[in-house]
Amino acid sequence: MKKIRLAILLIAFLLAGKPGSAQLAPVTASSSDIYLQLKKLNVLGSVLYIAAHPDDENNGFLPYLAKEKLYRTAYLSLTRGDGGQNLIGPEQGIELGMIRTQELLAARAIDGAEQYFTRAYEFGFSKRADEALDTWDHQQVLADVVWMIRSLQPDIIIARFPPDKRAGHGHHAASAIIANEAFRAAADPKQFPEQFKLGVKPWQAKRILWNTFNFGATNTTSEDQLKIDVGGYNQLLGRSYGELGGEARSMHKSQAEGRPRRRGEAIEYFVTTGGDTARKDLLEGVTTGWERLITETRYQAVVENIQSQVQSIIEQYQFTQPEASVPALTKLYQTIRSQLPASVWKQQKLKEVQALVENCSGLFVEAFTQQETAVRGDTVRVNCFVNNRSGVPVSITSIALEDGLRDTLPQQMTTKNQNYNYAMQAVINKSSQTTQPYWLAKPRENDGMFVVDDQMQIGEAWNPASLYASFIVEVNNVPFTFKRPVMYKYVDAARGELYQPFVIAPHAEVFMSPSVALLNVKDTDGNKRSDSMVHVMVNARVAMPQSVTALNIRQDVIHTIFANKQTSLEKGKRYQFDIPVSKVYNPKAPMKFLEATFSMTAPDGKNYNYSDFFKTIRYDHIPAIHFYFRDHVKLVDDEIKVRGKKVGYIAGSGDAMPEALRQLGFEVKVLEEADMNAATLQTLDAIVTGVRAYNIYSWLSNKYDVLMEYVQQGGNLIVQYNRNTQGNTPAPKIGPYPFVINAGARVTEENAAVEFALPQHAVLNSPNSITAADFEGWNQERSTYQADRIDPRYEAPLRMHDQDEPATNGSLITAKYGKGNFAYVSLVLFRQLPAGVPGAFKLLANLIALPKNP
């Protein structure tokens, strides 16, 4: 039978500190938590919740299932949210998907559920389920969900959405279609039979339900549906499930999903869509006690004995002396291990009992290093630490590192609250893999699916750790193995003791800038603004003395920048090489990007080539994320004309606008609140606000009059898209005349036809002539959060629409105001500029160049 994914459980178990911290520390449960875990021993019921994205889960409902009903609860998100938007930084695509994966794991650490995924890539907002299923590989995603059902064997399945337009998103509807198909397919031995050789078997859940909702304009609930109040208060936790749900939801920080801790009644509604209809309870008709394991008469006495042991442990539990339960728990562990046949529930309950033994005994076990990275061939000092804080009989038998080195210790009895430290040397094998999320190990074959060849990895939220230490410990003479990931542990002067993943890095890495190089930018008089340069940086993670090095740049062919150069690279030092694009660029080559390879011949004669960038993403609320990719510079040789010299930029939630402006040849001044004065602004030809800037900075609304005065005096203000405000927050003041932001008005088909409603408008003609060709090659979508209910004093030069929908004109609106111009741009320039779409740069140049009014 497939094993529970250790990495997921460890991350959920090890997340420590207040919600929102990135501390990956071993944690011992409180006495109240332990009592709740003891009660859960008597519950053998499970629920699988299925939706499309991170933040689709019902955060008030999951803690009710996990901590009130005490069911084993799991959330299966079909995607990792790669195609979403990002409030907290510039990451998009797979980088955002990794952030949102870790945010889900942080949420699960709060609500007590487990987290799983399929191989589907989140390719952006979709309005149709058929588009989602066509872009994904329908059968592959179905196979992944069937695999998870057969692995977890849930008693019931709950879909978050309906399989139609009421879901509000094509991915949402597709997740419901697949969930209902998988409910049936998982039980069919003819469906995906190749899975059975890996230990799973057909599994029929009792029922599948739809968790209906009231999302304002869309209310799918009714009083004849199954109703459950999930807002109860848990006195052992000191919080309601609404409070836990608010904390979990607030971990989705990249999506601006901060939520209050809700108290009071919270009614959830359900409709059965397959299997036996539930009328009073979600698990109606499901045996959720130990008796479900009486599969044969010979196991009846065993199960009754286990039930009796568990009940006795619960009744005799002492809140002030949890360690008193340890002898009974070790006996229970032995009984389950030796007398029950193999099953998902045997495996699950052994895991739960071992965690209770550890928590009741106050046993603290960890393995850590004082370095975050190592390279293949390194020897790393690993500190292995044990403290028996309660004084129960505990002896340390041995500690083993995964690299094969073992420190066999004598049978060492521990003394209460004494520290036992063992320094070990781990050799990072030369065959060890550089740290990389498993779903990124191979390139995607299409826009819809990640490539994962190992069936046993499918569903996992994250990779296993780079290195583990196994502690074999006897508690009351019963052996237990505690497998701990080796962590990087350090003390931050402001945040205190912190833990981060320990990772394997390459010996050297290569990265390049800029991400997009514009090769043919000219003033309106035809003069070229500048010659483009490409910068290649080599970062050495180990010392490379007396090596013969070479640097090659590849477009269609390899261009050698230098070769046979005697170099000694210092560990930790960055080396930069500046190369004129004209030296390596071939305008006739079909490949419109540059890649770099740094080669080295060591003194021993061995050759090494480095071409990947090992990148780290850091945010305080999640662990550091490490991954590698082949960096490159996208080349754009279209002629782009510009007017103006200096542009102000107000940072938003993260986009590539400053780099894009510099590539256009503008001097860029990043504006802060203190710069919002006439003396500073009058030096600027235009001001561009980053995406969601008005949602992030309340001072932008407060400086409305200053900005409007800037426009009146002849400046151009270009506002990229913003979102609607939530709660009691007043709508930001943005434009000179009224318009509203419509979250539902968006064009998600990146190849949607664009109509030039005002073909003579300056933004379509000067200094660049905009044609239909400038809307070719766009990524993911056309526009989002369009302007609506637009004052007639605005002009809307563009119209566009998705399939089977009426055209809208809110993707770009402009207004003359005094001598200057205002523009609200919901065209997704923040996706197109980093991708090097020439038309996006031309549109941006034209917006900046809008002429002054008389």
Q: What distance in Å separates the CA atoms of residue 608 and residue 606, rounded to the nearest whole number?
A: 7
Whose structure tokens read 């050759």?
Answer: 607
- The rounded percent of the chain whose pLDDT value lies above 70 is 95
- Its sign, for the CA torsion 284, 289, 295, 296, is negative
What's the pLDDT at 354?
Answer: 97
Please report the sign of the dihedral spanned by the C-alpha atoms of residue 710, residue 712, residue 718, residue 722: positive
pLDDT of residue 9: 35
- Residue, of 565 and 486, whose pLDDT is higher: 486
Q: Please answer whether residues 680 and 657 qualify as being in contact, where contact means their C-beta atoms are separated by less than 8 angstroms.
A: no
User: How does pLDDT run across 154-205, given as a tens digit for each residue?
Assistant: 999 999 999 999 999 999 999 999 999 999 999 999 999 999 999 999 999 9
Residue 12 is predicted with a pLDDT of: 36
Q: Residue 116: phi, psi to the nearest 5?
A: -140, 165
Single-letter amino acid code for the residue at 341: P
> What is the full DSSP assignment across 296-345?
SGGGHHHHHHHHHHHHHHHHT--TT-GGGGHHHHHHHHHHHHHHSPS-HH
**Which one is predicted more confidently, 28 or 816?**
816
Q: What is the pTM of this model?
A: 0.92
Residue 38 pLDDT > 70, yes or no?
A: yes
pLDDT tens digits, one per residue of 827-850: 999 999 999 999 999 999 999 999
Q: Is the pLDDT of residue 727 over 80?
A: no
240-282 residue pLDDT tens:
999 999 999 999 999 988 888 999 999 999 999 999 999 999 9
Q: 501-545: per-residue pLDDT in tens?
A: 999 999 999 999 999 999 999 998 888 887 789 999 999 998 888
Residue owning tokens 């009426």: 806
Q: What is the pLDDT of residue 118?
A: 98
- State yes or no: pLDDT of 453 exceeds 50: yes
Q: What is the pLDDT of residues 678-714, one digit of tens each?
A: 999 999 999 999 999 999 898 999 999 999 999 999 9
Question: Which is higher by pLDDT, 439 or 555?
Answer: 439
Band the pLDDT of 24: cuts 50, 70, 90: low
| Cα–Cα distance for residue pair 57/439, rounded to 1 Å | 22
pLDDT value, residue 5: 37
By C-alpha distance, which of 826, 825, 841 is closest to 777?
Answer: 841
Q: What angle separates helix 94-111 from helix 6-14, to the nearest 10 degrees?
A: 60
Instruction: Check residue 548 and give its pLDDT.
Output: 82
Q: Which residue has the higher pLDDT, 10 or 700?
A: 700
Q: Which residues pair with 647 in a beta bridge?
A: 668, 686
Residue 409: pLDDT band by 50, 70, 90 thresholds? low
Q: What is the pLDDT of residues 761-775, one digit of tens each?
A: 999 999 999 999 999
pLDDT at 805 over 70: yes
Q: Looking at residues 371-375, what average pLDDT do you find?
A: 95
Give the per-residue pLDDT at 404: 57
Highest-pLDDT range among 126-140, 403-417, 549-563: 126-140
The strand pair at 686-689 and 740-742 is best described as unpaired
Q: Which of 837, 826, 845 is nearest to 788 (CA)?
A: 826
Report strand pairing: 716-720 vs 820-825: parallel
The pLDDT of residue 7: 35
Between helix 138-152 and helix 170-185 the angle, nearest 10°, is 50
Neighbouring C-beta atoms of residue 364, cutoff 10 Å: 16
